Structure 1
């Protein structure tokens, strides 16, 4: 497998970073995940805009221009043996220079960021999995207040997601002060009486690229939809719940905390939206 590290493409086994890199010592960095269909990155410009937003959020200068990022990513994609990929991009604040403190919370001066990228086969849900749906658990969202930064320090998300795994479920639906925020690794949508509802973008959630696509498709196909605060009662009383992400795409949640959602099977709007999403993907791949 060929990976990218600080301007070089090299075998994964040869990719090395310092143990003093601030990404390793502090989790001081950001990341992006770009799905690739038939060798074509999906909504790359949107992913690069979100990467820029995250870098700005941690006060780290972008090491590449948009054109440079695009060229590096396309080269990485071309070096893989599989057409459908998941490209992981990570930028950390780098390693302190000689003579600087080995570990200091303050940003080191004149440090070069570490840029690392790799690709792996993109694994999405099978038609059978989508037809069955998944279960989820709920939990209090106890993360920090800048969840819209795609930071590599994901410990809170990992702990929340593990609650779902321990319960044999796929996702944890998070609630803060009685309102829906998102999933531990996804965005969450609610359907009630044929109306699709999504929590509004804020610093308390990471607005996914798939979240944007779903709302665009709803608008384009005259599906009634609202972007507004969603209460816990609305979540628990939903006719349908969905989780969306670059890898899960549109996945129905059929049980929450052991209680069936609606009829306990994927609802008609989830099935329709997934079909619209798959058609949209095909159009992107043909463009």
Structure 2
């Protein structure tokens, strides 16, 4: 079992130097990406991830150069060669290698893939929940595109870390948008609420899984924007992402959420999410 990488046709070692200096992902952040979680060798919601990758590429006028089925087969091949049962697979497509110029070059896209052991959250984090900090949303206006331009997200995540928190939750025009790398949900009176899809948030794949689970479980699911005050006064708060799955929030800006423990709805959703994984 080992971490593996792929770059423009070659399977390589994870630490091999391969990116040319004029690669546009390196120069401009001119590209898009996805991360797919593998459980026991099986990818979770792979089609949905690939659909989003191709949507993001189309939004920035980037031709990936492979059909979706061809890219899927390549990713499954690399994951299989790694021998890793539980893995995080990152796929990244950029506008290619060309002399530095803001205008689009006439060259093929660059495709890179990495497969590494899945990052697991500790039992303590799962059982106790995490703390978050609220920060202004300083990102661009096309956050629905999963692009490589993540500097505002990186700065927000670092600020959370420096304040002893797991995540920064972002606020734009007085309303919660999402986390620096997560979607955000509140629970009030048994109803799960999250911001509607728009250009200001990413259409999270785990967000979609949670929406499906609430429908199956008969849990009310409401898509509406909510204010920071509503988050602070919620019965429960939780985050979702590919790597965090469903994760309880027990404090925000130093204020306790609910009774300070992961709530019953969050726990139920997490358990159902795990059942969804086992049923693959």
Q: TM-score range by the shorter chain?
A: over 0.9
The equivalent position to 2:170 in structure 1, one of 165, 170, 174, is 174
- Which consecutive residues of structure 1, in runs of 5 or more, have no partner in the other structure? 97-101
TM-score (norm 2): 0.97
Q: Does 1:207 align with 2:203?
A: yes
Q: Does 1:5 align with 2:16?
A: no
Query: Paired residues, what number?
Result: 278
Distance in 1 between the 2:125 and 2:24 partners? 39
Render the CA deviation track for 1:161-216: whole Å, top value 9, x for unaligned: 11110011100011111111000010000011111101000100111100000011
- The residue that corresponds to 2:45 in the other structure is 43
Moved more, 15-24 or 210-219: 15-24
Quote how far apart the aligned CAs of 1:15 are: 4.8
Render the CA deviation track for 1:140-180: whole Å, top value 9, x for unaligned: 10110000111111000000111110011100011111111
- The residue that corresponds to 2:63 in the other structure is 61
Distance in 1 between the 2:101 and 2:67 partners? 29
Matches within 5 A, 1:186-197: 186-197=182-193
Render the CA deviation track for 1:240-268: whole Å, top value 9, x for unaligned: 11011111111111000100011111111
Render the CA deviation track for 1:201-246: whole Å, top value 9, x for unaligned: 0100111100000011001110112011112221121111101111
Distance in 2 between the 1:215 and 1:2 partners? 33
Aligned residues of 1:3 and 1:15 also touching (Cα < 8 A): no
The equivalent position to 1:107 in structure 2, one of 94, 104, 114, is 104
Q: Does 1:147 align with 2:149?
A: no
- Which consecutive residues of structure 2, in runs of 5 or more, have no partner in the other structure? none
Aligned residues of 1:89 and 1:118 also touching (Cα < 8 A): yes
TM-score (norm 1): 0.94
Distance in 2 between the 1:138 and 1:271 partners? 23
- The residue that corresponds to 2:36 in the other structure is 34
Runs of 4+ in 1 over 6 A off after TM superposition: none
The equivalent position to 1:164 in structure 2, one of 141, 148, 160, is 160
Q: Does 1:225 align with 2:221?
A: yes
What RMSD over aligned residues (CA atoms) do the two structures have, in Å? 1.1
Aligned residues of 1:218 and 1:225 also touching (Cα < 8 A): yes
Aligned residues of 2:4 and 2:116 also touching (Cα < 8 A): no
